[in-house]
């Protein structure tokens, strides 16, 4: 499985698998996908197309949030899937990632 991204309006849309095997390549390209994706000091990241998430995916989102905060930007996660919400809950980071419980 792979992970791809596209920019649709004011959202960075991810599709595929947000996991230990796909994160390193995605993180190395972060300058490319962050460029132009941040509007009004916010990065809206749409995870509706993400089929699988593991703890490395949650860790990447936390690292991304921290990096954005250093630039006075916020991370808004749109359409998180149940798997992401479950891992975040077990890890105690639901509030940090501002995930809805739905």
Domains of the chain, residue spans? 3-91
Q: Which fold has domain 3-91?
A: Transcription Regulator spoIIAA (3.30.750)
The predicted pLDDT at position 84 comes to 93
Please, are residues 51 and 85 in contact by the beta-carbon 8 Å criterion? no
Q: pTM, whole model, 2 decimals?
A: 0.89
DSSP three-state, residue 47:
strand
The predicted pLDDT at position 101 comes to 56
The predicted pLDDT at position 37 comes to 73
* Run means of pLDDT, 10 residues per run, the chain, 102 residues: 88 94 92 78 92 94 93 91 93 90 52
The predicted pLDDT at position 9 comes to 82
CA 4 to the chain's CA centroid: 12
């Amino acid at each position: 499985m792979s992970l791809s991204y596209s920019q649709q309006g004011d959202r960075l849309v991810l599709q595929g698998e947000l996991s230990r095997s796909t994160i390193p390549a995605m993180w190395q390209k972060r300058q490319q996908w962050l460029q132009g994706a941040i509007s009004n000091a916010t990065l809206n990241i749409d995870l509706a197309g993400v089929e699988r998430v593991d703890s490395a995916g949650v860790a990447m989102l936390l690292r991304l949030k921290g990096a954005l905060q250093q630039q006075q930007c916020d991370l808004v996660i749109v359409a998180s899937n149940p798997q992401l919400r479950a891992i975040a809950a077990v890890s105690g980071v639901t509030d940090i990632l501002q995930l809805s419980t739905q």
